Amino acid sequence: MNLSIENILLGASILLLISILLSKSLGKYGIPALILFLLVGMLAGSEGIGNIHFDDPGSAQSVGIVALTIILFSGGLDTRWETTKPILWRGVSLSTLGVFITALLLGLFIWRITDFTFLEAMLLASIVSSTDAAAVFSILRSKNIGLKHNLRPTLELESGSNDPMAYFLTISFTYLVMNEGEASIWQLVPMFFLQMSIGAVMGIAMGRLMAWAINRIKLLQDGLYPALSLGMLIFTFAFTTVINGNGFLAVYIAGVMMGNRNFIHKGSLTKFYDGLAWLMQIVIFLTLGLLVFPSQMIPVLGTGVFISLFLMFVARPISVFISLIPFRSTLWDKLYISWVGLRGAVPIVFATYPLLAGVGKADMMFNIVFFIVLTSVMLQGTTLTVVARWLGLSRRDRSPKRFQLGEEMGLDMKNALVELDLTKESMAVGRSIVELQFPKTALIVLINRGGKYVTPNGATVLEESDKLLVMIDNDGELEKVNQALGITA
């Protein structure tokens, strides 16, 4: 077949549509979307029915870097400071100390059971040391399951902020393997603090600058604001990397900073990046699925099983328990966080660095990493909801929908609209609004009653299944509103 741009676009569109349709039809059975995207890529590859020959780690790495940049930024945009603040240092400990301990324990294990040198074993362990919780929350949210004890924001913060540590370890051990006997790991310690510091400073600065620029630069077309923000996002990653900072940390922090500030078109831009992040996830998994050769995974099957099981049942739990020593967490919380050590696209992308650097056993490392990701997703990704129930940590997600007033116009308004559902258990059902001890600073502005909208007054009697649109000043008021309505969060 002539490899024209039309044929490339045709093939890409078919793979994209198949991936989306499969995730829609099979996702309800608890199968993570990312495993479906990987399998579609593998089936379309040179050893699959699609017979698409793709053996270009450099292109796969470039696609992966761009995709991870956008995914991390989108995750930062969705991170709310009020929910993250109480568990900030717990998440930071997991994403730094936890990643390091995981890499160290796993590296020692690989060194003992294989013919890898210590540095090669540490390189392989570093590649798979970070977690990817994107699939975790897609499953929990599709099942409408929440988590107790602030576990969700903890896991979200860890998954969004642990990639920079794994990236640094991967790059460092790749350098040490290629310069064995000439370089020392102690030479890299100052580089770690330098990269992280530059990345953090750039992230804070660019996050504020992006929000300020979007508010101040008056563009003639609203459709140009996503392009403006995307250009600044790419600049943040690229410039931070050029000046020897950690670009992944910079874009995540920039997303957090921007997401917690008011700027025009905030709602539409957040939805734009949410959709773009999903597209990037599909693209990256399809690309990495095309890159792998399933027949080359067979020789490393036994080794991969031992490494994967040790990572899931030993290295990850020990790292979690040690990282959470300074914090008040129950045994069940630690066990669940340990089980949510899901490996995803990040390790496979990081596995391309040794390939491009010419590390001797890079091909074997890549196949082992791919196998670890597959087993992690298949075993852990499909049992997250079940394990949460076993440990008594699951609850129905009753988080209200929130609409921040003035965000589309960039106004600094603290008021927000929240949508609350009245169930038959609510003590407010059958009572008029005037009878409720409603906070004076909160107001029911609209009631959705069976698809018909009612403008309420004091005499309006609330009914079961009413959806109330309530204006509040802050989260403290929301708690008082829930108490007045008899709603349990």
Q: Where do the structural domains in the chain lie, given as residue ranges? A: 5-396, 401-485
The DSSP H or E segment spanning 422 is: none
Indicate if the alpha-carbon torsion angle 284, 286, 290, 292 is positive or negative.
positive
CA–CA separation, 384 vs 339, rounded Å?
A: 8
Q: What are phi and psi of 11, to 5 degrees?
A: -65, -40
Evaluate whether 482 touches 442 at the Cβ level (below 8 Å).
no
Identify the CATH class of 5-396. mainly alpha
Contact between 270 and 77 (Cβ < 8 Å): yes
> How far apart, in whole angstroms, are the C-alpha atoms of residue 39 and residue 215?
43
Closest CA to 23 of 134, 130, 155: 134
CB 72, CB 252: distance < 8 Å: yes
Would you state the pLDDT for residue 318? Answer: 97
With CA atoms as reference, report the closest residue to 136 among 33, 38, 40, 36.
33
Q: Given its phi and psi angles, is residue 293 left (phi above 0), alpha (psi -120 to 50 degrees) or beta?
A: beta
What CA–CA distance (Å, rounded) separates 472 from 71?
Answer: 31
DSSP string, 28-80: GGT--HHHHHHHHHHHHBTTSTT-B----HHHHHHHHHHHHHHHHHHHHHT--
- DSSP code string of 82-136: HHHGGGHHHHHHIIIIIHHHHHHHHHHHHHHHSS--HHHHHHHHHHT-S---HHH
Q: Of 252, 284, 290, 369, nearest to 63 (Cα)? A: 284
Q: Beta-carbon neighbour count of residue 299 at 10 Å?
A: 11
Distance CA(381)–CA(377), nearest Å, equals 5
187, two tokens: 């030479």
At residue 279, φ and ψ (nearest 5 deg) are -60, -40
d(CA 388, CA 340): 10
Show the tokens assigned to 401: 């929908």
Q: Reduced to 3 states, what is the DSSP secondary structure of residue 453?
A: strand
Instruction: Check if the beta carbon of residue 473 is closer than 8 Å to that of residue 442.
Output: yes
Q: In the Cβ-directed half-sphere of 120, how many Cα atoms lie within 13 Å? A: 19
The third-level CATH classification (topology) of the domain covering 401-485 is Alpha-Beta Plaits (3.30.70)
341 and 383 in contact (C-beta within 8 Å)?
no
Tokens of 91: 């998440």
Number of other CB atoms surrounding residue 104 within 10 Å: 18
Bridge-based pairing of strands 416-421 and 467-472 is antiparallel
Cα distance between residue 94 and residue 88, in whole Å: 10
Residue ranges, the chain, pLDDT below 50 = 1, 408-413
Among the listed residues 155, 182, 217, the one whose alpha carbon sits nearest the alpha carbon of residue 342: 155
pLDDT value, residue 404: 56
pLDDT tens-digit series, residues 309-357? 999 999 999 999 999 999 988 999 999 999 988 887 788 889 999 999 8
Q: Taking a C-beta distance cutoff of 8 angstroms, is the pair 107, 122 a contact?
A: yes
What span, in angstroms and rounded, lies between the C-alpha atoms of 77 and 71? Answer: 10
Token look-up 């996050």 returns 207
Q: What is the pLDDT of residue 360?
A: 85
Between CA 277 and CA 273 the distance in angstroms is 6
Instruction: Tell me whether residue 276 is exposed, middle or buried, using C-beta atoms within 10 angstroms of its C-beta: 0 to 12, 13 to 18, 19 or more.
Output: middle
pLDDT of the residue at 410: 47
- Assign residue 64 a region: left if phi > 0, alpha if psi is -120 to 50, beta otherwise? alpha
Query: Which long-range CB contacts under 8 A does 442-450 form with residues at least 24 apart?
Result: 442/470, 442/471, 442/472, 442/473, 442/477, 442/480, 442/481, 443/470, 443/471, 444/468, 444/469, 444/470, 445/417, 445/469, 445/470, 445/471
**pLDDT tens per residue, range 403-429:** 555 554 444 445 677 888 888 778 888
